[in-house]
């Protein structure tokens, strides 16, 4: 895979928490610009840690990590801030102040890119209402532009968070269980929209997914994570039921989120040097 076409690459990367727990071990993974990748696996597998690593809030303990063609942890402070501003985050519980107006919540997507004086001015008087309204309109939220966020439903608040990250115009979008608290219909709609917008804008999307069936239905590439290692890395249509059974073995919570046809006896998978979709 050519470096110029790579959004990020990990080569034998380990992540060790302060308590000594090795959350990720020997990860080797590369994702091209514009790819849409789902991370699946049981609770505690290391999915969130991997997203934090990619979001530049955790540094690797060992191995080589490249983001946008360079090692972010060798960059100066100002350059590291600029790298972080190119990464968007979508959370299960959006960190949006409840008394904030929707327009301010959406415009906050670019606070890391604007000069300080424009960011400050926007907090007093929104500087790009038209841009915020355009993103909200795509999500059927145009009429909520000046609504207070604490008057929105959970699903509406999630769409505000999505509008904010789309307004940011990130090159890499990281989503950590973005639909885990949604009802099935809203989760389906949100994942479809997230993928459609990422595809339309050429954004690299990496999402940790609790609902495996949504990952298989909407993402191009699915990566199975267990025990801080990659068990498989395949196109969605090549993820066989046996691989999912091995991935969620002895995980009754995860088992309930898998497609019904995947719940059947299978041989145990061993950690591998990643079954690649290349």
Q: Positive or negative, the Cα torsion across 76, 81, 87, 89?
A: positive
Rounded Cα gap, residues 189 and 276, in angstroms = 29
Residue 4, pLDDT > 70, answer no
Place of tokens 């972080």: 84
What is the band of 253 on the pLDDT scale with cuts at 50, 70, 90? low
Which three-class secondary structure state does DSSP give residue 26? strand
pLDDT of residue 118: 78
Give pLDDT tens digits for 109-159.
888 777 777 777 777 788 889 999 999 998 889 899 999 999 998 888 888
- Per DSSP (E only), the strands in the chain are 6-16, 22-32, 36-40, 62-67, 87-91, 172-176, 204-208, 221-226, 229-235
């Amino acid at each position: 895979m050519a470096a110029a076409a790579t959004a990020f690459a990990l080569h034998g990367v380990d992540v060790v928490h302060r308590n000594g727990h090795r959350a990720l071990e020997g990860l080797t993974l590369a994702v091209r610009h514009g790819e849409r990748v789902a991370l699946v696996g049981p609770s505690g597998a290391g999915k969130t840690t991997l997203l934090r690593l990619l979001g530049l809030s955790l540094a690797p303990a060992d191995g080589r990590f490249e983001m946008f063609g360079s090692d972010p942890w060798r960059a100066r402070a100002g350059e590291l801030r600029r790298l972080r501003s190119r990464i968007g985050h979508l959370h299960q519980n959006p960190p949006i102040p409840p008394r904030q107006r929707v327009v301010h919540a959406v415009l906050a997507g670019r606070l890391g890119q604007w000069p300080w004086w424009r960011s400050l001015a926007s907090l007093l008087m929104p500087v790009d209402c038209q841009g915020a309204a355009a993103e909200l309109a795509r999500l059927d939220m145009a009429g909520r532009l000046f609504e207070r966020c604490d008057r929105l439903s959970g699903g509406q608040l999630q769409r505000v968070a999505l509008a904010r990250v789309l307004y940011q115009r990130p090159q890499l979008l990281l989503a950590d269980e973005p639909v885990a608290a949604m009802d099935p219909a809203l989760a389906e709609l949100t994942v479809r929209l997230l993928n459609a917008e990422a595809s339309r804008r050429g954004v690299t999307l990496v999402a940790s997914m609790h609902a495996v069936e949504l990952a298989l239905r909407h993402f191009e590439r699915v990566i199975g994570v267990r025990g801080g290692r990659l068990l498989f890395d395949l196109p969605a249509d090549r993820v066989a039921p046996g691989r999912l059974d091995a991935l969620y073995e002895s995980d009754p919570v995860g088992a309930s989120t898998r497609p019904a046809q995947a719940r059947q006896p299978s041989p145990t998978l061993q950690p591998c040097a990643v079954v690649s979709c290349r």
